[in-house]
Structure 1
Amino acid sequence: MAISRLQPLFLLLLLRAFTSLPTQAAARGGQDPSEDGGHGSFSRNLLEDKPRITEEMARGYMSNAELETAIHAFGSRCSNISRVYSIGKSVNHFPLWVIEISDKPREREAEPAFKFIGNVHGDEPVGREVLMRLANWLCDNYLKDPLATLIVENIHLHILPAMNPDGFTLRWRGNANNIDLNRDFPDQFFSVNNDVNHRQPETKAIMDWVKQEHFTASASLHGGALVANYPWDGTRDTGKRYYGCPDDKIFKHMASVYSQSHYNMSLSKEFEGGITNGAFWYPIYGGMQDWNYIHGGCFELTLEISDTKWPKAAELPVIWEHNRMSMLNLLASLIKSGVHGRIFAADTGRPIPGSVMIMGIDSKVSAGRTFGDYHRIVAPVVASMRGFRSKSTRIVLEQDQAVSLDFILDPDGTREQMKLPQNDWGCHCNNHKLFHIHESHLWMYLLTMSLLLTLYVLFKRKMASRLLTYRIYSPRRPVAV
């Protein structure tokens, strides 16, 4: 009798133990797709997703009011390189504050624009804290650190520390309507979010913002895993598999820039190189990442920057340091790579908002309305050879001019252990008997060399006069060393 009374209590404790375990699948956008009827987490309502965030866990994090104060304090302290503005309000009417950082923050320029978004999910607050640290680092190091100066003077950086301030206050994943904002965007495969009347105000604010600012690239910061995620996030048949977008190679490069610059993201045992295709990890639909790429021409990554969704505040300085160079290098890569230019009308000479495409990639980038400027991210050119260190470089293409590019690769120390390929003359370059001549045939080689030398002298005299009137011009070949 006593045992039967204990059974319900034991089952309840066991259920609580399992539900309290952290799940990485919830980091990017909700429950595992297998739990959603095979439709990759279509549901935007998260009535069952209310994690218990205690006051002890929240201690040390800025409240919404404190974050708002910190943003305006930053704007006052760093007014020479920043402006503060709002893109809208949350369900509970809290302003969605943005910090713009640039050497000309109140002016339109023909420069690439990048946005960072934090706190997309209310129970993932690490991004809002890290982004404020990024803003302050750039302000403190401008004109002191070369990387900070490069970013401030060549990019218009926009930082939205908290997309979901209501969810943060409520200590749950969704917004005040308990809607997962990373399921609320229009989807390329399914029309579940096409009803504008049901779209959340935070989502509308982001969509209007993207259409207004013409961002080149962006990243949203999440918690619950340690990986750089790139499109596509879903598949047409809702299957879980690798599903690359037209710019798959470029996105992999961007994700690798972040992962390789991170303290330990690239060492992940779960994700090779610390990066993953979203649909290969687990499909989601209505995500912000894919919508940015399709409708905004904006190359967006979803960055999971903390294994724990809500780590202790004491860990925030370490998390910031682990991600600092990743964030800075991702921004710098926007300047140091890609193709940048402007589009003009031939008849008026005025800039026009045309578009740019790269052959072989079914995706176009539109130019800005004001300056007709475009910024096309491209994967770097890389030369490689077994036994040598790989080398990459950038090329500048001018109108009606081709560029020849030579690479000089450095040995990696393993050349002597490998057999080099045979050259066009049939010799093996690693053969120590390459110039060995048998004694009985020495006279033949000497006679041949004498004849060749005589012919060389005769032709040299004959060609000397011709070279005075006929010169061959050859374009200088750029060499990557």
Structure 2
Amino acid sequence: MTPARLLSALFLCLSLSSLGFFTVHSTAGFVNRSFAASGRHLTEENHFQKLNNLAHGYMTNSDLEKAIKAFHGRCGRISRIYSIGKSVLGVPLWVMEISNNPGKQEAKPAFKFIGNVHGDEPVGRELLLRLANWLCDNYMKDPWATLIVDNVHLHILPSMNPDGFSLRRRGNANNIDLNRDFPDQFFQMNNDLTERQPETKAIMSWIKKIRFTASASLHGGALVANYPWDGTQDKSKSYYACPDDEAFRYMAKLYSGSHYNMSRSEEFKEGITNGAYWYPIYGGMQDWNYIYGGCFELTLEISDNKWPPANELHMIWQFNKRSMLNLVASLVKSGIHGRIFSSDCGEPLPASIAIKGINYTTKASETLADYHRLVAPGHQYEVMATMPGYKTRSTTIKMGEEAMTVDFILEPTDRFLPRQCYNSSSMKMLEVISRPYFQVALTLLLVLAFLYFLTKRKVIFRGRKSVGQRRVAAIVKRTNCVICK
């Protein structure tokens, strides 16, 4: 290029720059960013408005509370209602218990359903109210309803996340995903109690009070029965089986196979999936239930559409009704059940039940010593009962399709030593007495009692002495009087 052409090109560039051609990109970028921010805001508003429109026909939180109380009002003889806590915004977390003896401790398995874990997945709350009312209407009329009410304590929490529902979003009022808020087995997370959400704390406290055998939480966005583990040690997306993988697969297939079309899924074979194989999550409620609560929990995705129109709810209920009933009834119709007693006293023992080859222990109840152990049918199991101070007992069983009762009578390790028989309350008292701080307190109390005794004795001695002196003086006085006379 000649110097003249170079100068011409330079002049042309400067001219175009002065006209703003080279600033168009940066200006356009600024406009796009502003538009994008505005667009996001508009998208959020539009999304909220869309969900608001879809919510037409669904129960509000106020409607839900009224429906729960109305259910109890007409079905009080087989139900009770109670709250396990409150949400961030103070909404009570209402539970319906359905049983022929609600609120009483019995040697029966307990099952819980939880709906609306994610605020934007509201189908579960609607289906659980329908389930409760169906059981009420059909008790003593339908064999399934009668079987469940007479033999199971069924607890139903329609909405774990009422705040998220009213805000039309996945998380709670603090925008926390409640299904990531539980302590995790693989990673140190959610261990700070002060940081845990009130809804999560309520569930954890609930499980400590009631010994649930099994449970299920209802979600939306897919159609599949999900079972543990939900995560892996290396965070990989791969099948990661828990110790009771066979039993969980049986439960998941029971639900899927009873569903109208879940088992026909093209995405999930037989309509079931291992959680970690689908996609790993950490801090989930399902794994925590199994590890810390002794409770076999499934995560049930019951609707491809998270928020289907309300006019589809009846159809979704019909598709899921038999599956829900079968899952609860399986606690009675399958598995191993029994009680454990001492041979010398005949008292119930809160022993532990283990199965050889499965690294998982089930604890019998403290008062009635009943246990309920879910296992897959068609297998042979060696069942063992163990308790400190007693000899371990075991028996081998072959599980068919029906439930099996296996009671144990345990002998003390040293049968020649005299033993005192205690009931459960006495055992708890002995446990308290054996603690070091109680022994120190008892010693101090005895010392104080002894000092008090010494002080009182000294006062009494002084009192007796003065009385004696007065008596002597009186005798001397009377003697003197006689002499004088």
TM-score by length of 2: 0.71
Contact 2:336 2:406 in 1 (8 A): no
In structure 1, the partner of 2:414 is: none
Q: How far 1:56 sits from its partner (Å)?
A: 1.2
Alignment of 1:220 onto 2:220 = no
Note closer, same or farther for the CA distance 1:78–1:361 as it changes in structure 2 (3 Å cut).
same
Q: Secondary structure at the match of 2:349?
A: coil
Note closer, same or farther for the CA distance 1:238–1:16 as it changes in structure 2 (3 Å cut).
farther
Contact 1:52 1:171 in 2 (8 A): no
Give distance in 1, aligned partners of 2:186 and 2:241.
14
Note closer, same or farther for the CA distance 1:239–1:151 as it changes in structure 2 (3 Å cut).
same
Partner residue of 1:138 out of 132, 135, 154: 135
Contact 1:53 1:171 in 2 (8 A): no
Alignment of 1:275 onto 2:283 = no
Contact 1:342 1:371 in 2 (8 A): yes
Q: CA deviation digits over 1:5-40, x for unaligned, max 9?
A: 999779979x989x99xxxxxxxxxxxxxxxxxxxx
In structure 1, the partner of 2:59 is: 62
Give distance in 1, aligned partners of 2:49 and 2:180.
22
Q: How far 1:193 sits from its partner (Å)?
A: 0.7
Q: How far 1:333 sits from its partner (Å)?
A: 1.1
After superposition, the CA RMSD in angstroms is 2.8
In structure 2, the partner of 1:98 is: 95
Alignment of 1:125 onto 2:122 = yes
Alignment of 1:306-345 (within 5 A): 306-345=303-342
Q: Greater share of helix residues, 1 or 2?
A: 2
Contact 2:336 2:375 in 1 (8 A): yes
In structure 2, the partner of 1:353 is: 350
Alignment of 1:252 onto 2:252 = no
Give distance in 2, aligned partners of 1:203 and 1:151.
28
Q: CA deviation digits over 1:88-126, x for unaligned, max 9?
A: 111111110000000111211100000000000100000
Give distance in 2, aligned partners of 1:187 and 1:303.
20
Contact 2:338 2:405 in 1 (8 A): no
What residue identity is the alignment partner of 1:353? Answer: P
Give distance in 1, aligned partners of 2:405 and 2:148.
24
In structure 2, the partner of 1:437 is: none
Contact 2:339 2:407 in 1 (8 A): no
Q: How far 1:53 sits from its partner (Å)?
A: 4.4
Q: Secondary structure at the match of 2:225?
A: strand
Q: How far 1:395 sits from its partner (Å)?
A: 6.8
Give distance in 2, aligned partners of 1:337 and 1:175.
37
Alignment of 1:107 onto 2:115 = no
In structure 1, the partner of 2:161 is: 164
Give distance in 2, aligned partners of 1:395 and 1:336.
5
Note closer, same or farther for the CA distance 1:382–1:88 as it changes in structure 2 (3 Å cut).
same
Alignment of 1:168-183 (within 5 A): 168-183=165-180
What residue identity is the alignment partner of 2:359? Answer: D
Q: How far 1:347 sits from its partner (Å)?
A: 3.4
Note closer, same or farther for the CA distance 1:375–1:51 as it changes in structure 2 (3 Å cut).
farther
Give distance in 1, aligned partners of 2:284 and 2:195.
16
In structure 2, the partner of 1:234 is: 231
Give distance in 1, aligned partners of 2:126 and 2:220.
12
In structure 2, the partner of 1:151 is: 148
Give distance in 2, aligned partners of 1:285 and 1:16.
32
Structure 1 unaligned regions, length at least 5: 21-46, 384-390, 401-481
Note closer, same or farther for the CA distance 1:270–1:198 as it changes in structure 2 (3 Å cut).
same
Alignment of 1:438-457 (within 5 A): none
Q: How far 1:334 sits from its partner (Å)?
A: 1.1
Contact 1:121 1:173 in 2 (8 A): yes
In structure 1, the partner of 2:389 is: none
Structure 2 unaligned regions, length at least 5: 1-20, 381-398, 409-485
Give distance in 2, aligned partners of 1:181 and 1:6.
41
Q: Larger relative CO (CA 8 A, sep 6+): 1 or 2? A: 1
When structure 1 is superposed on structure 2, of 214-223 and 327-336 the one drifting more is 327-336
Contact 1:382 1:393 in 2 (8 A): no
Partner residue of 2:187 out of 190, 194, 209: 190
Q: How far 1:54 sits from its partner (Å)?
A: 3.2
Q: CA deviation digits over 1:376-415, x for unaligned, max 9?
A: 00101179xxxxxxx9534746579xxxxxxxxxxxxxxx
Q: How far 1:241 sits from its partner (Å)?
A: 0.1
Alignment of 1:80 onto 2:73 = no
TM-score by length of 1: 0.71
Contact 2:335 2:404 in 1 (8 A): no
Give distance in 2, aligned partners of 1:93 and 1:291.
25
Contact 1:381 1:394 in 2 (8 A): no
Note closer, same or farther for the CA distance 1:233–1:380 as it changes in structure 2 (3 Å cut).
same
In structure 1, the partner of 2:370 is: 373
> What is the percent sequence identity of the aligned residues?
65
Q: How far 1:350 sits from its partner (Å)?
A: 2.0
Contact 2:237 2:279 in 1 (8 A): yes
Give distance in 1, aligned partners of 2:212 and 2:407.
26
Note closer, same or farther for the CA distance 1:53–1:195 as it changes in structure 2 (3 Å cut).
farther
Q: How far 1:370 sits from its partner (Å)?
A: 2.1
